[in-house]
Amino acid sequence: MKKQFLGNSGLQVSEIGFGCMSLPTDLQEASFIIEEALSHGINYFDTADLYNKGTNEELVGQALKKHRNNIVLATKVGNEWDKNSDEVKWNATKPYITEQVHHSLRRLQTDYIDLYQLHGGMISDNAEETIDAFETLKKEGLIRAYGISSIRPNVIKRFLETSDIASIMMQYSLLDRRPEEFLEPIGAAGKSVVTRGSLAKGLLTNEGLKRAETMDGYLTYSSDELKNTLKKLLDVHGNLHALSLHSVLEQDTVASVVAGASSAQQIRDTISAYETDVSAEQIEQAKQLTKEDRYEQHRD
């Protein structure tokens, strides 16, 4: 498994990362899947305090405790659960972030977080205060680096210009190429992108056509457009899973594709796809068949 530097943080992350959100809630099952990921060289594990009201962090912390020195552990902050309901409100204030990091550290059973990410962001936030919170945590040694998880162009632009973020997590796939307009400036600023949604809800796997039959399109693709596009992509490369992973990883700015898994077999399928050869010509052909959409909202 190849590793890439995460921005200017000094952290090296595996090109396939593990998105922990879909882990089963049973510790034994979750640990088995995580051990499978580790056995294939995955060292980057991404969770959030939002997932199952912190239970996911607890599972991940317990399962990775004995591997702590050999992994890059990432979590997120900014979504505040209402104590008496399932409602969530956005909170990017310094007092909230500096309080919540201690809860995440306790649940993750660690003294520090490698990558602490703002789990969203709005242009109306007091970004200076948010950035100060992360910088303070870095100075205190509670986090090694920080980043944002956002698809909003105006938020991304502001953090690129005013902060020392290491990375931006963005939804990016052959079926969602909206981030491509930002990849060059992000890379030029010395930052990295880590991706989510790169398998497009399973559409960009070898089960893609079957899944498309049960879906009413995807983003700007109508149902018919989606099925026709997937068929054409399969003509380019018989392993759609491999084509989708390598089409994202061929971008220099992308350090890691964060892929979820709810079973050990799903990990094995992703690793098999990662290890399958895909040529530059095939990637170019795939891009000729897919839309170059752009974000229309949150630009100012």
Residues designated catalytic? 51
Element (H, E) at 111: none
Cα(146)–Cα(2) distance, integer angstroms: 22
Q: What burial class does residue 114 get, using C-beta atoms within 10 Å of its C-beta: 0-12 exposed, 13-18 middle, 19+ buried? A: buried
- Here the tokens at position 100 are 């919540």
For the chain, percent helix, then strand, then coil, each to nearest 5? 45, 20, 35
Q: Are 95 and 124 in contact (CB under 8 A)?
A: no
Which residue type, as a one-letter code, is found at position 253? T
Asked whether the CA dihedral 166, 169, 173, 178 is positive or negative, the reply is: negative
Residue 133, number of CB atoms within 10 A of its CB: 24
Cα–Cα nearest to 239, from 200, 282, 198, 280: 282
Cα(201)–Cα(208) distance, integer angstroms: 9
Q: Are 238 and 295 in contact (CB under 8 A)?
A: no
Cα(288)–Cα(154) distance, integer angstroms: 28
Within 8 A by CB and 6+ apart from 195, the residues are 169, 170, 171, 172, 173, 248, 254, 256, 257, 258
Cα(273)–Cα(278) distance, integer angstroms: 9
